[in-house]
Amino acid sequence: MRFAFLLSSALVVFACSGRERPPGLSDTDEGGGGSNGDATDGFSIDGGASACIGPPTVDSSCGAEVVAVLQQKPNLYFVLDVSGSMEEEIAPGKGTKFKAAKDSIISVARDLGHRVSYGLGVFPGPDGGLAQDGCGAGKEAFATTEGDAITCINKPPSGPVLSDFTRAVSSLRAEGGTPLTASLIELAPTIEALAGPTAVILLTDGAPNCNSTTLCDVVDCALNVTSSEVLTGTCSPGDESNNCCDPEKADESGVQDPLGFCIDAGPSAKEVGDLFEAGIPTYVIGVPGAEFFRDVMNRLATAGGTARNGEIAFYDASDTEELTDTLRTIGAQVAQACEIKLKTRPADPSMFNVYFDAVLIPKDANDGWTLDGDQVTLHGDACKQVETAEVSEIQMVTGCVTVVK
């Protein structure tokens, strides 16, 4: 499922007087930059590595009328697994899964924060470590807040919101179990109360557990699936005689609260499905370790309305780079769709142009854009650039002859 959001806040639209060439917009110089005087497609482009290229403003030769647009920043709500298993290495010598997850979330907030409001919930909650058998219900670690405004189109935005978010994420510790069901029940009212379109990104390395009311057979016991070692030997999903989730064998196996290791797939999928029914899709991302629980992860992705085609329906990230790229791609899709709604249709469609970060994008139904009434649709490569977060700011200008590919 994709959101067809009306518009990200990074989009600005101007009206200017007619010309035979694309409209002239000038850069504001914020943060100590300054133009070198070179112009490309009507924009001044600064080649300095440290200079700030500010968002474009209407050139003095253009009219001052700003074309109104429909704006609505979506909410991107991260739900992060902070269980003890996240402290395992993502790969030998490559750092832990937990560090990779935290670094990736911060990176996405930095790159896309100006387009969205973002928040963070974690599970287990504050009593999820040594207390409550590691199964405390999740909590909100960062209240959903509108990201910092962009000031330089050639640099990632920064500001107090990103700084506070970075501190909140960096301070997290990983310990305890994976009480996904209880955590979604706890977080759902907060998520559902958010104004505007909302999407959840669930990032975990394993199957939900911690539901002591759930009975399971040998194939639905997480200890068996992961071939964990206990006092009675190696747990196995194919060994009915050594089901490590059997409470009657807890004394000899040494497993405390064995029912807490039963895979809690059904109840967790129900909670994800309830969010989807409320209009909130959940994107499920599995980091290394999740491959043991592919069926469960697929079930969650399906319930969340974001299942992908193929045997792996969730987003399966195998390393830090892939995890960051996956998060950024999903975040960009949520932040800005390829259908952009204008509040009013341009008076003359033949006098309309689109720019990505000061670069002219010709009108083209294959790899550019088309205009239909009050809606601009991005196609092919242009759409891909937006969805993969390659574009910081989109500019639309009326009053000048349309450049066609």
Q: What are phi and psi of 272, to 5 degrees?
A: -65, -40
Q: Which two tokens stand for residue 309?
A: 């085609």
C-beta separation of 202 from 79 below 8 A: yes
Task: Report residue 128's pLDDT band, with 50, 70 and 90 as the boundaries.
Answer: low
Burial bucket for residue 311 (CB in 10 Å: 0-12, 13-18, 19+)? exposed
Phi-psi region of 317 (alpha: psi -120 to 50; beta: other; left: phi over 0): beta
Q: Supply angle C-alpha 141, 124, 304, rounded to 5.
A: 85
Side-chain-facing half-sphere of 218: CA atoms under 13 Å: 12
Q: Give per-residue pLDDT as tens, 359-392.
A: 889 999 999 999 999 999 999 999 988 877 777 7
Helices (H) and strands (E) in the chain, counts: 9, 19
| Angstrom distance (rounded) from CA 131 to CA 395 | 52
Q: Which two tokens stand for residue 64?
A: 């001052």
Beta bridge partners of 340: 376
Lowest mean pLDDT among 166-170, 171-175, 208-212: 208-212
Is a pLDDT exceeding 90 seen at residue 399?
A: no
Size of the chain in residues: 405
Q: Give per-residue pLDDT as tens, 253-267.
A: 888 777 778 888 889
CB atoms within 10 A of CB 245: 27
* Among 341, 379, 348, 374, residue whose Cα is nearest residue 363: 379
What percentage of residues in the chain have a pLDDT greater than 70? Answer: 80
Q: Give per-residue pLDDT as tens, 31-90.
A: 333 333 333 333 333 334 567 776 555 443 444 344 555 566 889 999 999 999 899 888
What domains can you pick out in the chain, each with its CATH number? 12-70+342-398 (no CATH), 75-211+264-335 (3.40.50.410), 216-261 (no CATH)
Q: List the end-to-end C-alpha distance of the chain, in Å, as a whole number.
A: 31
Is a pLDDT exceeding 60 seen at residue 325?
A: yes
Scanning the structure block, which residue is given the tokens 């510790």? Answer: 173
Supply the angle between the helices 320-335 and 380-387 in degrees, to the nearest 10: 110
Quick one: pLDDT at residue 54? 67
Give Cβ neighbours of residue 1 (< 8 Å, ≥ 6 apart): 281, 305, 306
Q: What is the mean pLDDT of residues 143-153?
A: 86
Burial bucket for residue 361 (CB in 10 Å: 0-12, 13-18, 19+)? buried
C-beta separation of 19 from 401 below 8 A: yes
Beta bridge partners of 81: 123
pTM comes to 0.74
Give Cβ neighbours of residue 229 (< 8 Å, ≥ 6 apart): 235
Is a pLDDT exceeding 90 seen at residue 358?
A: no
Quick one: pLDDT at residue 293? 84
| Angstrom distance (rounded) from CA 214 to CA 207 | 14
Q: What are phi and psi of 334, to 5 degrees?
A: -70, -40
Q: Which two tokens stand for residue 326?
A: 């996956």
Q: Give per-residue pLDDT as tens, 217-272.
A: 888 888 888 888 888 888 888 777 778 888 888 887 888 777 778 888 889 999 99
Task: Report residue 181's pLDDT band, with 50, 70 and 90 as the boundaries.
Answer: very high
β-pair type (117-123, 75-81): parallel
Residue type present at position 153: I
Asked if the peptide bond before residue 124 counts as cis, ω within 30 degrees of 0, the response is yes
Q: Give per-residue pLDDT as tens, 280-317.
A: 999 999 887 777 788 899 999 999 999 999 999 999 88
Q: Supply angle C-alpha 276, 282, 283, rounded to 5.
A: 150
Run of H or E including 139: strand 139-146
Is a pLDDT exceeding 90 seen at residue 187?
A: yes
Scanning the structure block, which residue is given the tokens 């989109």? Answer: 394
CA 161 remoteness from chain centre: 17
Quick one: pLDDT at residue 50? 62
Task: Report residue 5's pLDDT band, with 50, 70 and 90 as the boundaries.
Answer: very low
Is a pLDDT exceeding 50 seen at residue 28?
A: no
Burial bucket for residue 205 (CB in 10 Å: 0-12, 13-18, 19+)? buried
* Among 29, 57, 27, 52, residue whose Cα is nearest residue 39: 27
Beta bridge partners of 354: 361, 396
